[in-house]
Structure 1
Amino acid sequence: MDPKPHFETLARYNRWANRRLYDAAAQLSDAQFREDRGAFFRSMRGTLNHILVADRVWLERIEGTGPKPSALDETLFDDFAGLRAAREAEDERILRVLASTPAERFASVLSYRSMAGTPHALPFAQVLTHVFNHQTHHRGQAHGLLSQFGLEAPSIDFVYFLLELK
């Protein structure tokens, strides 16, 4: 199986799920967006910023260029509108990176340094799997936060994305 189309589908799903989540989160007041609800990254603001931080960390490792956050809990964007625009741009960046990735790279190893400077090497395809799995994990937390605020959390399961493609 050629892994590139699979990862490109995951990138399109990722963008779809993020748009649905952000559409729902747009209903939050600014106070709710910032409110510490006991989530791992405290608030909706913290959770959504963390997802963006992690994507930027991994894409910088993959591309060797781009923004390089300094901490996993860094607040890249304090306001929802700025964060949403940055999320859209990052999702498009992920799609561009995958489109320009040569097929042979999916079988390669990615060598990188952790944020603490420790060297690591992992199979490139497994790194990409982590990037998408990480987003799914934290989108689930954001989904729970929406429910805590009494909002209808959108269906963001992969299967619903696939069914929409039909």
Structure 2
Amino acid sequence: MDSFARHIHLMARYNAWANETLLDAIAALEPAAWAAPRGAFFGSMMGTMNHLLVGDRAWFSRMSGTPYPWFTGLDQILHADFADFRQARRQMDETILSLVPTLPTDGDLSYVNSKGVPQVVPWRVVLGHVFNHQTHHRGQVHTLISQSGIEPPPLDLLYFPLGWDA
């Protein structure tokens, strides 16, 4: 496995840990905090976390060459119920963990974007984007948690507990 592939595998494991850690913090809030509008780009914790799930499902459908007819938009709410969302997020993270080691890190991915436009993007850019996108929006939810009255958990890669085997 080349160094980029090892790095992406580390990012997949970190991603699953960071998602679970963030969801633990959300679970500690009053149930209404999940869907409360807070002025974020996707409105709420529920909206933002669903956006991440939509994005991951779309990207991994593209990467595996499978259609995603369920897609209606980047602001789609797949799971309004927190417990249902958490289960779906865990399943997606397990899918990511199983697929990442099988994906190429060289060459290009050809796909059709959500607007129906054909795209060709290097695999390394796509794989980096998937995890960067997660970090970006988890940071927004992190802020929303702090606005809810509790201290959000540290999510920096340096806190990831599974070691430095990158």
| TM-score interval, smaller chain | over 0.9
Q: CA RMSD in A?
A: 1.4
Q: How many residues align?
A: 162
**1:36 corresponds to 2:34:** no
**1:95 corresponds to 2:97:** yes
**CA distance in structure 1 between the partners assigned to 2:67 and 2:132 by the alignment:** 22
3-state SS in 1 of match to 2:110: strand
3-state SS in 2 of match to 1:165: coil
3-state SS in 1 of match to 2:154: coil
**CA distance in structure 2 between the partners assigned to 1:120 and 1:96 by the alignment:** 25
3-state SS in 2 of match to 1:25: helix
Higher share in helix: 1
**1:25 corresponds to 2:29:** no
**CA distance in structure 2 between the partners assigned to 1:155 and 1:109 by the alignment:** 34
Please show how residues 142-157 of structure 1 align to structure 2 within 5 Å.
142-157=141-156
**CA distance in structure 2 between the partners assigned to 1:72 and 1:40 by the alignment:** 11
One-letter code aligned to 1:97? L
Over the matched positions of the two proteins, sequence identity in percent amounts to 47
**CA distance in structure 2 between the partners assigned to 1:65 and 1:87 by the alignment:** 19
Change (3 A) 1:66 1:155: farther
C-alpha contact 1:59 1:66 (8 A) present in aligned 2: no
**CA distance in structure 2 between the partners assigned to 1:100 and 1:164 by the alignment:** 21
**CA distance in structure 2 between the partners assigned to 1:92 and 1:144 by the alignment:** 26
**1:78 corresponds to 2:83:** no
**CA distance in structure 2 between the partners assigned to 1:141 and 1:3 by the alignment:** 27
5+ long unaligned stretches in structure 1: none
5+ long unaligned stretches in structure 2: none
Change (3 A) 1:66 1:120: closer
Change (3 A) 1:59 1:164: closer
- Using structure 2 for the length normalisation, give the TM-score: 0.92
One-letter code aligned to 2:35? R
Query: Offset at 1:151?
Result: 1.2
3-state SS in 2 of match to 1:120: strand
One-letter code aligned to 1:165? G
Please show how residues 1-166 of structure 1 align to structure 2 within 5 Å.
1-65=2-66, 67=68, 68-101=70-103, 105-161=104-160, 164-165=162-163
3-state SS in 1 of match to 2:109: strand
Write out per-residue CA displacement over residues 19-64 of structure 1, whole angstroms, 9 at most, x where no aligned residue: 1000000022232111110000000110110010000010000012
